[in-house]
Amino acid sequence: MSSPVTLTNKVLVVTGAGGGIGRDIALLAGRYGAKVLVNDIGASLGGEGLSAGPAQQVVEEIKAAGGDAVANTDSVSDAASAGRIVQTALDHFGRIDAVVNNAGILRDRFFHKMSEEEWDAVIKVHLYGSYHVSRAAATHFREQGSGAFVHMTSTSGLIGMVGQANYSAAKLGVAALSKSIALDMANFGVRSNCIAPFAWSRMIASIPADTPAQQARIERLKQMTPAKIAPLVIYLASDAAKDVNAQIFAVRNNEVFVMSQPRPVRSVHRSEGWTPESLHEHGMASLRGAFTPLDKTTDVFSWDPI
């Protein structure tokens, strides 16, 4: 019996696919029949240094397994180079069916110590990068009347995390970008969804482990391999997910979550309007029970990975 999920004859662009989550997505896409553009600039976690090696190695692995793939080393952070990523897929395979915006870097720093360069570098790769590659693909998706975007967001943005203002802002922006794409392009048969991945990769390997609690957290994170993320990406890129749009998922080892999106939870009303004093005396007192706690991701996902 054939699987209802297939990527045969589809062309996937996977950014940041030279290692970690992106590599596993590219490899599984190849096994499901996709032609894969493997994009990676071959840089360090902080974005320094360039090498064609990581992307080409993944391409060779896909080909060795009987698939078809091509490497690309353009940066997602610039409109022109992001356009070349999509154009490379078109030149080699003649079409493009899905974009997986996975490329990322980290420049963690407490907000009161964060430099403008650290802010810009992360925003440009994650948020601008997702925009640039998506925008380059959007015209082709519209013309062919189909297409799927899968963007990597993070619970650092959806919930919160210490020392990641740049990354958190970018990743929450990615979630809003995905929703906007879904709204604007639904009439053209184009879908856009997000995944917040929990996976041990070099991105989270940079998390400090100076205390016993931090070390214990690292050991828990190591259980969550990048390969756990790939199946949901393959599903969302396939026609089997044609009715799944504008959602935010999270994957944590063997758990898959659909995440809430902001909606009103409580309201107060005064026919005469509000003053600062009445807001203090009545408004906030009425709303306080619905306040969101100052939680971090680790507070919300407090149990060990399953």
Which segments within the chain are labelled E, that is strand? 11-14, 35-39, 68-72, 98-101, 147-152, 190-198, 248-252, 255-258
Question: How confident is the model at residue 298, as a pLDDT?
Answer: 87
Query: 290 in the Ramachandran plot: left (φ > 0), alpha (ψ -120 to 50) or beta?
Result: alpha
Q: Tell me the mean pLDDT in the region 46-74.
A: 87
Q: Tell me whether residue 100 is in a domain.
A: yes
Question: How confident is the model at residue 1, as a pLDDT?
Answer: 60
Q: Are strands 68-72 and 98-101 parallel, antiparallel or unpaired?
A: unpaired
Q: Tell me whether residue 212 is in a domain.
A: yes
Q: CATH number of the domain that 104 lies in?
A: 3.40.50.720
Q: Tell me whether residue 1 is in a domain.
A: no
Number of domains in the chain: 1
Q: Tell me whether residue 273 is in a domain.
A: no
pTM: predicted TM-score of the whole model, two decimal places: 0.92
Q: Which of 32, 128, 131, 167 is catalytic?
A: 167
Summarize pLDDT for 78-97 with one digit per residue, the tens: 999 999 999 999 999 999 99
Q: Tell me whether residue 277 is in a domain.
A: no
Q: Tell me whether residue 220 is in a domain.
A: yes
Question: How confident is the model at residue 45, as a pLDDT?
Answer: 58
Q: Catalytic site residue 167?
A: yes
Which of 240, 228, 261, 242 lies closest to 192, judged by CA?
A: 242
For residue 54, give its domain range: 11-258
Which of 294, 297, 14 lies closest to 171, judged by CA?
A: 297
Question: How confident is the model at residue 225, as a pLDDT?
Answer: 87
Q: Tell me whether residue 31 is in a domain.
A: yes
Is residue 194 very low, low, confident or very high in pLDDT (cuts 50, 70, 90)?
A: very high
Q: Tell me the mean pLDDT in the region 15-29.
A: 97
* pLDDT for residue 267 is more than 60: yes
* pLDDT for residue 214 is more than 70: no
Q: Tell me whether residue 4 is in a domain.
A: no
Summarize pLDDT for 123-153 with one digit per residue, the tens: 999 999 999 999 999 999 999 999 999 999 9
